[in-house]
Protein backbone atom coordinates (compact mmCIF):
# COMPACT_ATOMS: atom_id res chain seq x y z
CA UNK A 1 0.00 0.00 0.00
CA UNK A 2 2.73 2.51 0.95
CA UNK A 3 4.65 1.66 -2.22
CA UNK A 4 1.54 2.45 -4.27
CA UNK A 5 1.06 5.79 -2.51
CA UNK A 6 4.70 6.77 -3.04
CA UNK A 7 4.64 5.63 -6.67
CA UNK A 8 1.29 7.01 -7.82
CA UNK A 9 -0.17 9.53 -5.33
CA UNK A 10 2.83 11.55 -4.20
CA UNK A 11 3.80 12.53 -7.77
CA UNK A 12 0.32 14.06 -8.16
CA UNK A 13 0.72 15.89 -4.84
CA UNK A 14 4.03 17.31 -6.05
CA UNK A 15 2.70 18.19 -9.49
CA UNK A 16 -0.23 20.16 -8.06
CA UNK A 17 1.78 21.63 -5.16
CA UNK A 18 -0.65 20.25 -2.55
CA UNK A 19 0.39 20.62 1.07
CA UNK A 20 0.80 17.22 2.74
CA UNK A 21 1.12 16.98 6.52
CA UNK A 22 1.90 13.61 8.11
CA UNK A 23 1.38 13.38 11.88
CA UNK A 24 1.43 10.70 14.58
CA UNK A 25 1.34 10.36 18.34
CA UNK A 26 4.56 11.03 20.24
CA UNK A 27 3.61 8.81 23.18
CA UNK A 28 0.81 6.99 25.00
CA UNK A 29 -0.49 10.08 26.82
CA UNK A 30 -1.98 13.18 25.23
CA UNK A 31 0.55 15.21 27.22
CA UNK A 32 3.27 13.59 25.09
CA UNK A 33 1.98 15.53 22.08
CA UNK A 34 2.38 14.70 18.41
CA UNK A 35 5.21 14.17 15.93
CA UNK A 36 5.02 16.03 12.62
CA UNK A 37 6.70 13.55 10.29
CA UNK A 38 6.57 15.88 7.30
CA UNK A 39 4.91 19.14 6.25
CA UNK A 40 5.67 19.75 2.59
CA UNK A 41 4.30 20.37 -0.88
CA UNK A 42 6.97 18.15 -2.45
CA UNK A 43 6.76 14.79 -0.63
CA UNK A 44 8.71 11.79 -1.90
CA UNK A 45 8.08 9.20 0.79
CA UNK A 46 5.78 8.24 3.66
CA UNK A 47 6.99 7.52 7.20
CA UNK A 48 5.49 4.31 8.56
CA UNK A 49 8.24 2.78 10.70
CA UNK A 50 7.78 3.87 14.32
CA UNK A 51 11.28 2.82 15.37
CA UNK A 52 12.95 4.60 12.46
CA UNK A 53 10.91 7.78 12.57
CA UNK A 54 10.32 8.15 16.30
CA UNK A 55 6.57 8.03 16.80
CA UNK A 56 4.30 5.98 19.06
CA UNK A 57 2.50 3.24 17.13
CA UNK A 58 -0.76 1.43 17.82
CA UNK A 59 1.10 -1.89 17.66
CA UNK A 60 3.34 -0.80 20.56
CA UNK A 61 0.30 0.28 22.57
CA UNK A 62 -1.31 -3.12 22.07
CA UNK A 63 1.95 -4.88 22.98
CA UNK A 64 2.64 -3.13 26.28
CA UNK A 65 -1.00 -3.15 27.41
CA UNK A 66 -1.67 -6.75 26.40
CA UNK A 67 -4.75 -5.81 24.40
CA UNK A 68 -6.05 -6.02 20.83
CA UNK A 69 -8.40 -3.70 18.90
CA UNK A 70 -11.99 -4.54 19.81
CA UNK A 71 -14.97 -4.79 17.49
CA UNK A 72 -17.52 -3.72 20.09
CA UNK A 73 -18.11 -0.17 21.26
CA UNK A 74 -16.36 2.92 19.91
CA UNK A 75 -13.28 2.63 17.72
CA UNK A 76 -10.92 3.82 20.42
CA UNK A 77 -7.84 3.03 18.36
CA UNK A 78 -9.14 5.27 15.55
CA UNK A 79 -9.87 8.10 17.95
CA UNK A 80 -6.52 7.86 19.71
CA UNK A 81 -4.15 7.17 16.82
CA UNK A 82 -5.87 8.94 13.90
CA UNK A 83 -8.42 11.46 15.10
CA UNK A 84 -6.52 12.93 18.03
CA UNK A 85 -3.17 13.58 16.25
CA UNK A 86 -4.93 15.18 13.27
CA UNK A 87 -7.21 17.33 15.41
CA UNK A 88 -4.30 18.37 17.63
CA UNK A 89 -2.37 19.54 14.59
CA UNK A 90 -5.42 21.27 13.05
CA UNK A 91 -6.20 23.05 16.30
CA UNK A 92 -2.62 24.29 16.48
CA UNK A 93 -2.50 25.25 12.80
CA UNK A 94 -6.01 26.58 12.16
CA UNK A 95 -7.25 27.64 15.58
CA UNK A 96 -10.85 28.80 15.25
CA UNK A 97 -10.71 29.37 11.50
CA UNK A 98 -13.38 27.38 9.61
CA UNK A 99 -12.29 24.62 7.25
CA UNK A 100 -13.60 21.73 5.17
CA UNK A 101 -12.94 18.16 6.28
CA UNK A 102 -13.31 15.77 3.34
CA UNK A 103 -13.54 12.00 3.96
CA UNK A 104 -13.81 9.34 1.25
CA UNK A 105 -16.54 7.14 2.69
CA UNK A 106 -18.17 5.18 -0.13
CA UNK A 107 -21.85 4.64 -0.92
CA UNK A 108 -22.05 1.60 1.36
CA UNK A 109 -20.77 3.44 4.43
CA UNK A 110 -23.74 5.63 5.37
CA UNK A 111 -23.69 4.35 8.96
CA UNK A 112 -20.10 5.44 9.38
CA UNK A 113 -21.09 8.95 8.39
CA UNK A 114 -23.93 8.91 10.90
CA UNK A 115 -22.13 7.21 13.78
CA UNK A 116 -18.37 7.51 13.35
CA UNK A 117 -17.16 9.00 16.67
CA UNK A 118 -14.11 10.59 15.07
CA UNK A 119 -16.45 13.09 13.41
CA UNK A 120 -17.54 14.41 16.78
CA UNK A 121 -14.03 15.63 17.66
CA UNK A 122 -13.53 19.35 18.09
CA UNK A 123 -13.01 21.90 15.33
CA UNK A 124 -14.84 24.51 13.25
CA UNK A 125 -15.29 22.21 10.33
CA UNK A 126 -17.71 21.57 7.51
CA UNK A 127 -17.86 17.89 6.61
CA UNK A 128 -17.94 16.69 2.99
CA UNK A 129 -18.28 13.16 1.57
CA UNK A 130 -17.85 13.46 -2.21
CA UNK A 131 -17.45 9.72 -2.91
CA UNK A 132 -20.58 8.88 -0.92
CA UNK A 133 -22.53 11.72 -2.53
CA UNK A 134 -21.54 10.48 -5.98
CA UNK A 135 -22.98 7.04 -5.17
CA UNK A 136 -19.70 5.23 -5.78
CA UNK A 137 -19.08 1.89 -4.10
CA UNK A 138 -15.64 0.64 -3.10
CA UNK A 139 -15.54 -1.43 -6.28
CA UNK A 140 -16.33 1.66 -8.37
CA UNK A 141 -13.38 3.41 -6.71
CA UNK A 142 -11.06 0.47 -7.34
CA UNK A 143 -12.02 0.36 -11.02
CA UNK A 144 -11.49 4.11 -11.34
CA UNK A 145 -8.02 3.86 -9.79
CA UNK A 146 -7.20 0.95 -12.07
CA UNK A 147 -8.14 3.03 -15.12
CA UNK A 148 -5.79 5.81 -13.96
CA UNK A 149 -2.83 3.88 -12.57
CA UNK A 150 -3.12 0.40 -14.06
CA UNK A 151 -2.96 -1.38 -10.68
CA UNK A 152 -5.62 -2.83 -8.38
CA UNK A 153 -5.64 -0.80 -5.17
CA UNK A 154 -5.96 -2.85 -1.96
CA UNK A 155 -8.11 -1.79 0.96
CA UNK A 156 -6.40 0.55 3.39
CA UNK A 157 -6.36 -0.93 6.90
CA UNK A 158 -4.10 -1.64 9.85
CA UNK A 159 -2.30 -4.98 9.99
CA UNK A 160 -4.13 -5.63 13.28
CA UNK A 161 -7.53 -4.54 11.99
CA UNK A 162 -10.36 -6.41 13.68
CA UNK A 163 -12.91 -5.43 11.01
CA UNK A 164 -11.62 -7.77 8.31
CA UNK A 165 -14.69 -9.71 7.20
CA UNK A 166 -14.66 -13.28 5.93
CA UNK A 167 -15.13 -11.87 2.41
CA UNK A 168 -12.08 -9.62 2.78
CA UNK A 169 -9.95 -12.21 4.55
CA UNK A 170 -8.24 -13.64 1.45
CA UNK A 171 -6.86 -10.22 0.50
CA UNK A 172 -5.70 -9.56 4.06
CA UNK A 173 -4.14 -13.03 4.24
CA UNK A 174 -2.14 -12.29 1.09
CA UNK A 175 -0.66 -9.22 2.77
CA UNK A 176 0.30 -11.24 5.82
CA UNK A 177 1.89 -13.98 3.74
CA UNK A 178 3.94 -11.31 1.96
CA UNK A 179 5.22 -9.94 5.31
CA UNK A 180 5.47 -13.01 7.59
CA UNK A 181 7.70 -11.43 10.25
CA UNK A 182 5.28 -8.54 10.79
CA UNK A 183 2.33 -10.94 10.86
CA UNK A 184 4.12 -13.13 13.40
CA UNK A 185 4.62 -10.13 15.71
CA UNK A 186 0.88 -9.48 15.66
CA UNK A 187 0.26 -13.15 16.41
CA UNK A 188 2.52 -12.93 19.48
CA UNK A 189 0.65 -9.80 20.60
CA UNK A 190 -2.65 -11.65 20.28
CA UNK A 191 -1.25 -14.60 22.24
CA UNK A 192 -0.44 -12.29 25.17
CA UNK A 193 -3.79 -10.50 24.94
CA UNK A 194 -5.77 -13.75 24.95
CA UNK A 195 -3.75 -15.00 27.93
CA UNK A 196 -4.85 -11.93 29.92
CA UNK A 197 -8.40 -12.01 28.55
CA UNK A 198 -9.77 -15.13 26.85
CA UNK A 199 -12.35 -13.02 24.98
CA UNK A 200 -9.86 -10.66 23.34
CA UNK A 201 -9.16 -12.50 20.10
CA UNK A 202 -8.61 -10.14 17.19
CA UNK A 203 -11.91 -11.05 15.53
CA UNK A 204 -13.98 -11.25 18.70
CA UNK A 205 -14.47 -13.71 21.58
CA UNK A 206 -15.05 -16.67 19.28
CA UNK A 207 -12.29 -16.24 16.70
CA UNK A 208 -8.61 -15.40 16.86
CA UNK A 209 -6.09 -14.40 14.23
CA UNK A 210 -4.21 -17.58 15.17
CA UNK A 211 -7.25 -19.70 14.31
CA UNK A 212 -7.75 -18.02 10.94
CA UNK A 213 -4.10 -18.49 10.04
CA UNK A 214 -4.19 -22.15 11.07
CA UNK A 215 -7.26 -22.71 8.92
CA UNK A 216 -5.40 -21.06 6.02
CA UNK A 217 -2.31 -23.23 6.52
CA UNK A 218 -0.02 -20.21 7.03
CA UNK A 219 2.81 -22.35 8.41
CA UNK A 220 5.63 -19.82 8.00
CA UNK A 221 3.82 -17.17 10.05
CA UNK A 222 2.70 -19.67 12.68
CA UNK A 223 6.18 -21.19 13.03
CA UNK A 224 7.81 -17.76 13.34
CA UNK A 225 5.33 -16.77 16.05
CA UNK A 226 5.78 -20.06 17.93
CA UNK A 227 9.57 -19.69 17.94
CA UNK A 228 9.28 -16.12 19.18
CA UNK A 229 6.88 -17.14 21.95
CA UNK A 230 9.00 -20.08 23.12
CA UNK A 231 12.30 -18.18 23.08
CA UNK A 232 11.06 -14.93 24.64
CA UNK A 233 11.44 -14.00 28.31
CA UNK A 234 8.19 -14.83 30.09
CA UNK A 235 6.34 -13.45 33.08
CA UNK A 236 3.75 -14.72 35.51
CA UNK A 237 1.01 -12.11 35.72
CA UNK A 238 -1.53 -11.45 38.45
CA UNK A 239 -4.65 -10.15 36.72
CA UNK A 240 -7.60 -8.60 38.54
CA UNK A 241 -10.73 -7.01 37.09
CA UNK A 242 -13.73 -5.18 38.45
CA UNK A 243 -16.67 -5.24 36.02
CA UNK A 244 -19.15 -2.39 36.38
CA UNK A 245 -21.34 -3.55 33.46
CA UNK A 246 -21.04 -6.03 30.57
CA UNK A 247 -17.71 -5.35 28.79
CA UNK A 248 -17.00 -2.38 31.09
CA UNK A 249 -14.12 -3.25 33.39
CA UNK A 250 -11.14 -1.82 35.22
CA UNK A 251 -8.06 -4.03 35.04
CA UNK A 252 -4.97 -4.43 37.17
CA UNK A 253 -1.93 -6.29 35.78
CA UNK A 254 1.07 -7.02 38.00
CA UNK A 255 4.16 -9.07 37.13
CA UNK A 256 4.95 -11.45 40.00
CA UNK A 257 7.73 -13.55 38.45
CA UNK A 258 10.00 -13.52 35.39
CA UNK A 259 11.77 -16.42 33.72
CA UNK A 260 11.57 -18.89 30.86
CA UNK A 261 8.27 -20.44 29.73
CA UNK A 262 9.09 -23.58 31.76
CA UNK A 263 10.09 -21.61 34.87
CA UNK A 264 6.97 -19.45 34.93
CA UNK A 265 4.84 -22.54 34.37
CA UNK A 266 6.49 -24.28 37.32
CA UNK A 267 5.93 -21.26 39.57
CA UNK A 268 2.26 -21.17 38.59
CA UNK A 269 1.84 -24.86 39.46
CA UNK A 270 3.77 -24.37 42.70
CA UNK A 271 1.50 -21.49 43.68
CA UNK A 272 -1.55 -23.57 42.82
CA UNK A 273 -0.43 -26.25 45.27
CA UNK A 274 0.17 -23.65 47.95
CA UNK A 275 -3.29 -22.07 47.67
CA UNK A 276 -4.92 -25.47 47.02
CA UNK A 277 -6.55 -24.48 43.70
CA UNK A 278 -6.38 -26.58 40.53
CA UNK A 279 -5.16 -24.64 37.47
CA UNK A 280 -7.42 -24.66 34.40
CA UNK A 281 -6.09 -24.97 30.84
CA UNK A 282 -8.47 -23.64 28.19
CA UNK A 283 -8.96 -24.74 24.58
CA UNK A 284 -6.29 -22.24 23.43
CA UNK A 285 -3.67 -23.80 25.75
CA UNK A 286 -3.54 -20.95 28.28
CA UNK A 287 -3.31 -22.21 31.88
CA UNK A 288 -4.83 -19.95 34.53
CA UNK A 289 -4.88 -20.21 38.29
CA UNK A 290 -8.24 -18.76 39.21
CA UNK A 291 -8.74 -17.26 42.65
CA UNK A 292 -12.15 -15.95 41.58
CA UNK A 293 -14.21 -16.16 38.38
CA UNK A 294 -17.20 -14.08 37.40
CA UNK A 295 -20.59 -15.72 37.97
CA UNK A 296 -21.41 -17.28 34.56
CA UNK A 297 -25.04 -16.15 34.23
CA UNK A 298 -25.31 -13.32 36.72
CA UNK A 299 -26.57 -9.94 35.54
CA UNK A 300 -25.79 -8.27 38.85
CA UNK A 301 -22.90 -5.80 38.89
CA UNK A 302 -20.22 -5.02 39.98
CA UNK A 303 -18.42 -8.36 39.48
CA UNK A 304 -14.79 -9.29 40.07
CA UNK A 305 -12.26 -11.83 38.84
CA UNK A 306 -8.70 -12.67 39.83
CA UNK A 307 -6.21 -15.10 38.30
CA UNK A 308 -2.56 -15.83 37.55
CA UNK A 309 -1.37 -16.65 34.03
CA UNK A 310 2.01 -17.02 32.29
CA UNK A 311 2.80 -15.38 28.94
CA UNK A 312 5.66 -13.56 27.17
CA UNK A 313 6.98 -10.66 29.26
CA UNK A 314 5.76 -7.93 26.90
CA UNK A 315 3.02 -6.45 29.09
CA UNK A 316 3.74 -3.56 31.45
CA UNK A 317 2.31 -3.43 34.96
CA UNK A 318 -0.63 -1.05 35.02
CA UNK A 319 -3.74 -0.14 36.97
CA UNK A 320 -5.80 2.99 37.52
CA UNK A 321 -5.06 5.16 40.53
CA UNK A 322 -8.29 4.27 42.34
CA UNK A 323 -8.46 0.60 41.30
CA UNK A 324 -7.65 -0.65 44.81
CA UNK A 325 -10.59 1.31 46.23
CA UNK A 326 -13.01 -0.51 43.92
CA UNK A 327 -11.28 -3.85 44.51
CA UNK A 328 -11.62 -3.55 48.28
CA UNK A 329 -15.23 -2.43 47.94
CA UNK A 330 -16.38 -5.26 45.68
CA UNK A 331 -14.10 -8.28 46.29
CA UNK A 332 -15.23 -10.60 49.06
CA UNK A 333 -13.24 -10.91 52.28
CA UNK A 334 -12.42 -14.52 51.38
CA UNK A 335 -11.07 -13.52 47.96
CA UNK A 336 -8.96 -10.70 49.33
CA UNK A 337 -7.57 -13.02 51.99
CA UNK A 338 -6.66 -15.66 49.39
CA UNK A 339 -5.15 -12.98 47.14
CA UNK A 340 -2.97 -11.70 49.99
CA UNK A 341 -2.01 -15.27 50.85
CA UNK A 342 -0.87 -15.90 47.26
CA UNK A 343 1.14 -12.67 47.27
CA UNK A 344 2.79 -13.68 50.54
CA UNK A 345 3.79 -17.09 49.14
CA UNK A 346 5.32 -15.43 46.09
CA UNK A 347 7.16 -12.87 48.20
CA UNK A 348 8.67 -15.50 50.47
CA UNK A 349 9.64 -17.61 47.47
CA UNK A 350 11.45 -14.71 45.82
CA UNK A 351 13.12 -13.40 48.98
CA UNK A 352 16.83 -14.30 49.14
CA UNK A 353 17.67 -16.70 51.92
CA UNK A 354 19.81 -15.20 54.65
CA UNK A 355 22.71 -17.30 55.90
CA UNK A 356 22.44 -17.83 59.65
CA UNK A 357 25.72 -18.20 61.52
CA UNK A 358 26.40 -18.66 65.19
CA UNK A 359 29.60 -17.92 67.05
CA UNK A 360 30.86 -20.13 69.88
CA UNK A 361 33.20 -18.35 72.23
CA UNK A 362 35.57 -20.46 74.29
CA UNK A 363 35.61 -19.65 77.97
Give the DSSP letter string of 28-42: SSGGG-EEEEEEESS
The residue from 157, 191, 221 where one domain ends is 157
Residues 6+ apart with CB under 8 A from 232: 188, 312, 313, 314
Radius of gyration of the chain (CA): 25
Strands (E), 31-182: 34-40, 99-102, 125-128
Q: Let me know whether 134 and 256 are in one domain.
A: no
Q: Let me know whether 239 and 227 are in one domain.
A: no
Q: Is residue 149 part of a domain?
A: yes
Q: Is residue 362 part of a domain?
A: no
Is residue 209's pLDDT more than 60? yes
Q: Let me know whether 114 and 201 are in one domain.
A: no
Closest by CA position to 125, among listed 92, 102, 155, 152? 102
Q: Let me know whether 202 and 151 are in one domain.
A: no
Return mean pLDDT, the chain. Answer: 90
The residue from 231, 248, 266 where one domain ends is 231
DSSP state for residue 117 in the 8-state scheme: G
Q: Let me know whether 140 and 255 are in one domain.
A: no
Q: Please report the sign of the dihedral spanned by the C-alpha atoms of residue 330, residue 62, residue 121, residue 38.
A: positive
Mean pLDDT computed over 330-359? 82
What is d(CA 52, CA 167) in angstroms, rounded to the nearest whole number?
34
Q: Let me know whether 277 and 311 are in one domain.
A: yes
What is d(CA 70, CA 204) in angstroms, rounded to the nearest whole number?
7
Q: Let me know whether 26 and 118 are in one domain.
A: yes
> Do residues 68 and 162 lie in contact, with contact meaning Cβ atoms separated by under 8 Å?
yes
Q: Let me know whether 153 and 8 are in one domain.
A: yes
Mean pLDDT computed over 328-357? 86
Number of domains in the chain: 3
Q: Let me know whether 55 and 148 are in one domain.
A: yes
Whole-model pTM: value is: 0.86
Q: Let me know whether 243 and 219 are in one domain.
A: no
Q: Is residue 248 part of a domain?
A: yes
Largest Cα separation within the chain, whole Å, is 106
Q: Is residue 123 part of a domain?
A: yes
pLDDT at 361: 38
Strands (E), 153-285: 234-245, 248-259, 280-281
Q: Is residue 163 part of a domain?
A: no
Q: Let me know whether 133 and 77 are in one domain.
A: yes
Q: Is residue 358 part of a domain?
A: no
Q: Is residue 99 part of a domain?
A: yes
Is residue 360's pLDDT more than 50? no
152 vs 76, higher pLDDT: 152
Q: Let me know whether 242 and 227 are in one domain.
A: no
> Do residues 271 and 345 lie in contact, with contact meaning Cβ atoms separated by under 8 Å?
yes
Mean pLDDT computed over 2-30? 96
What is d(CA 284, CA 26) in angstroms, rounded to the nearest whole number?
35
What is d(CA 67, CA 318) in angstroms, rounded to the nearest whole number?
12
Closest by CA position to 4, among listed 107, 143, 187, 155? 155
The residue from 130, 157, 184 where one domain ends is 157
Residue 70 belongs to what domain range? 2-157
Q: Is residue 323 part of a domain?
A: yes
Residues 6+ apart with CB under 8 A from 45: 6, 10
Q: How confident is the model at residue 356 (pLDDT cuts 50, 70, 90)?
A: very low
pLDDT at 72: 62
Amino acid sequence: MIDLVECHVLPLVRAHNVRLVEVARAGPENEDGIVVLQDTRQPYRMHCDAEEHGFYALSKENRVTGTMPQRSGTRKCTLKFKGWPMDTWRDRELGTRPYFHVIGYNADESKRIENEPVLALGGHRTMAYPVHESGWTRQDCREYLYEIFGVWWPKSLCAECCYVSKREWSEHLSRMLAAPEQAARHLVDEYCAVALNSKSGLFGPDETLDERLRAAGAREILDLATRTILHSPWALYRVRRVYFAPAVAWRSVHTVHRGTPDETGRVLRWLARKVKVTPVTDTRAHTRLWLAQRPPDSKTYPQVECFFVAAPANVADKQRDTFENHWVAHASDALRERDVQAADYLYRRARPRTAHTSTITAA
